[in-house]
Structure 1
Amino acid sequence: MNKILIIIFLTICSYSSFGQTINGIPIKDLDVQYLQILGTSKLMSSKLTITIDIGQKTKFFSNNTDETLLKDEKGEGLIFNSMIDALNFLSANGYEFVTAYVLTVGNQNVYHYLMKKNK
């Protein structure tokens, strides 16, 4: 029974590690050296919406973050508890922390973390 549970657990872990995408590309397969994590707090929540800037083209007048939103295997946006949660996620997916800064837009903090791909 324990062997079956271990096999199921490993299968789920390997499936979920390939499920996270940016603009339809698995995060581990991105052909970029650097990326930037942008964390914006959600209204009436302690959680963050994380978008990833890899230099991709986005629509100028669009407020749609669909091209930059980190999505799960179901195509839904991932929600992180904190920037450290997002940092740990990207570290587990082959990126290392470079620097961070915060900008306040209106009354909302926007967190910026620069990451570099491990070789």
Structure 2
Amino acid sequence: MTKKILIFSILFLTGISIFSQTVNDIPVAQIDVEYIQIVGTSRLFSNKVTIEIDFGQQSKFFSSGNETQVKDADGKILKLNSMIDALNFMSLNGYTFVQAYAFAVEGQNVYHYLMKKRE
């Protein structure tokens, strides 16, 4: 019995953490567009990437860029380990991979992944 409660608790907490991430104050799973683009920028002296989600949202003229970054339930920027981590995250939120390309900007790799919402 306690094993079932433990498994249920883990699944419940995982479900909460999956659906509590937001972009521009919109829960990722509830973004109502057909296509999104993940833009990942490699960090200096780190294996991690900074992830931004572009779904066509309007940006403020003098913004810090934070409205395109994925935030957790506490409003902190979500740190993902790699672009594959970002792909898996978006897959859990109802998107499927379409296409990718990358290029370098000032010595940093910038990855662009196009995703489509699953029907």
Return the TM-score normalized by structure 2: 0.92
How far does the alpha carbon of each residue in 1:41-90 deviate from its partner, in whole angstroms, 9 at most, with x for none?
Answer: 1222110110000111113343x121100111111111111111101111
Q: Percent identity?
A: 57
How far does the alpha carbon of each residue in 1:17-39 deviate from its partner, in whole angstroms, 9 at most, with x for none?
Answer: 21111111111111111000000
| Pair 1:36-2:37 in alignment | yes
SS in 2 for 1:103: strand
> What residue number does 1:109 align with?
109
How far does the alpha carbon of each residue in 1:4-24 deviate from its partner, in whole angstroms, 9 at most, with x for none?
Answer: 212221220121121111111
* Aligned equivalents of 2:10, 2:24: Cα separation in 1: 27
Please give the root-mean-square deviation of Cα atoms over the aligned residues, in Å: 1.2
* Aligned equivalents of 1:94, 1:59: Cα separation in 2: 27
> What residue number does 1:75 align with?
75
> What residue number does 1:12 align with?
13
Runs of 4+ in structure 1 displaced over 2 angstroms? 59-62
SS in 2 for 1:71: coil
Listed as ranges, the gaps of 5+ residues in structure 2 are none
* Aligned equivalents of 1:78, 1:92: Cα separation in 2: 15
Number of corresponding residues: 118
Return the TM-score normalized by structure 1: 0.92
User: How far did residue 94 of structure 1 move?
Assistant: 0.6
* Aligned equivalents of 2:107, 2:62: Cα separation in 1: 22
Between Structure 1 and Structure 2, the one with more helix by share is 2
Contact 2:41 2:111 in 1 (8 A): yes
